[in-house]
Amino acid sequence: MAVGIFDSGLGGLTVLDAAQKRLPDVDFLYYGDNARAPYGVRDAEDVYQLTKAAVHDMWDKGCDLVILACNTASAAALRRMQEGGLPQGKRVLGVFVPLIEALTERQWGDNSPPREVEVKHVALFATPATVASRAFQRELAFRAIGVDVEAQACGGVVDAIEDGDMILAEALVRSHVDALKRKMPHPQAAILGCTHYPLMEQTFQEALGPEVKVFSQGSLVADSLSDYLTRHPDMYGSGAGGFYTTGNPGRVSDRATQFLRREITFQAA
C-alpha cells in the first residue's frame, strides 16, 4: 500500500518527511520530476501536461491517491485534472487547501460558505508561476471574505535550495521579504507557498518579525492527509513505496540525502 507524493524536484520531501512522522505505518511513493525542475518558471500548460503525465505514472505504480506536494503543480494542474474527470478509484489532492483551512481556522474538509476571519492581511511567498496563477487567492475566496493577500514572487530561491547554496537562498529570502514589506508593511500572517520554503522558515520568520505568524506546509498537509485517510480508508493504494526520479538517480539521491539528513535512494522512474 502506498500513497503518492509528487513534486517537480526535492521540495516535496519536506511534505514526505512530515507525513512519514505523522503516519509511520503508511508507505509512501515519492516521485520527483527532477529532469524538468523547476516548474516555477514554466507556463501553466507545460506544468499541467508534465504533472498529468507524472500522476498517471504514479497511478500505474499503484498509488490510488497522489498528493501534489508542489504548489506550482497544484496551481496549474489540480483543478483542471479534477474537473476533467479522474479514473475510477483514483484521487489527486493539492497542498493549498490544508494551508488555507489552517489560516481560516477551519476543520479539515470543512466546505461551508466563506465567512469573516480574524486574519485580514496575508503575505504570500511563492514561485512566479504560482503567483501568476492566483490559485491561492481563488481557493481562499471559497473559504474567507475580507482578506487582503499580497503576493511576492520569490525568483531564484528554489534553484538555490536545489543547488545546495543556502547562503544565496537566505539572501534571496531576505530580499523578497523586503520587497513584500514595501507593498504590505504590516502583514498579520505569511504563507510559505512552496514546499522548498520550510527549509528557510527561520529566515522568513526573522525577516518578517516575531509578530507575523508564518504558515508552512509540511505538518499541515500531513495532518490533513491523516484526517483524509481516516475518512477514506480505501485510498491507501496497492503499490509499494519508494523513491523515483526522472533525473539522474545517483545525483538526486545525494541531494535528497543532504536535504533530509538521512540516506535516500532514488531509482529511475
Say whether both 161 and 239 belong to one domain. Answer: no
- 155, three cell numbers: 525568483
The predicted structure's pLDDT at residue 164: 87
Q: Name the domain boundary from 199, 216, 233.
A: 216
User: Do 87 and 124 belong together in one domain?
Assistant: no
**Which of 179, 201, 216 is the C-terminal boundary of a domain?**
216
Residues 77 and 33 in one domain: yes
Residues 230 and 264 in one domain: yes
Residue 260 and residue 207 in one domain: no
On whether both 73 and 110 belong to a single domain, the answer is no
Q: Which amino acid is at 135?
A: A
Q: Which of 4, 26, 10, 17 is nearest to 226 (CA)?
A: 26
The kind and range of the H/E element at 177 are helix 166-183
Q: Looking at 174, 193, 216, which one is the last position of a domain?
A: 216
Q: For residue 104, give Cα distances in angstroms to 3, 124, 218, 243.
A: 27, 15, 17, 34
Residue whose cell numbers read 485580514: 120
Specify the DSSP element, H or E, that contains 51: helix 44-60
> 211 lies in which domain range?
97-216
Look at the chain and report how many structural domains it folds into: 2
Burial state string for 136-160 with b = 16 or more CB within 10 A and e = fewer than 16: beebbeebbeebebbbbbbebbbbb
Q: Are residues 211 and 229 in the same domain?
A: no
- pTM of the entire predicted model: 0.92
- Same domain? For 68 and 40 the reply is yes
CATH number at residue 22: 3.40.50.1860
Q: Going residue by residue through the chain (269 aa), what tens digit of pLDDT does each one get?
A: 699 999 999 999 999 999 999 999 999 999 999 999 989 889 999 999 999 999 999 999 999 999 999 999 999 999 999 998 899 999 999 999 999 999 999 999 898 999 999 999 999 999 999 999 999 999 999 999 999 999 999 999 999 998 889 999 999 999 999 999 999 999 999 999 999 999 999 999 999 999 999 999 999 999 999 999 999 999 987 778 999 999 999 999 999 998 888 999 999 99
How many angstroms separate the CA atoms of 152 and 98, rounded?
Answer: 20
Helix (H) or strand (E) holding 192: strand 189-193
- The answer to whether residues 211 and 144 belong to one domain is yes
Quick check: is 154 catalytic? no
C-alpha cell of residue 94? 493539492
Rounded to 5 degrees, φ, ψ at 172 are -65, -40
* 210 & 247 share domain: no
- Active-site residue among 68, 161, 194, 220? 194
**Whether residues 204 and 137 fall in one domain:** yes
161, 64: one domain:
no
Spot the catalytic one: 70, 102, 180, 220. 70
The owner of cell 523586503 is: 178
Element (H, E) at 169: helix 166-183
Active site residue 63: no
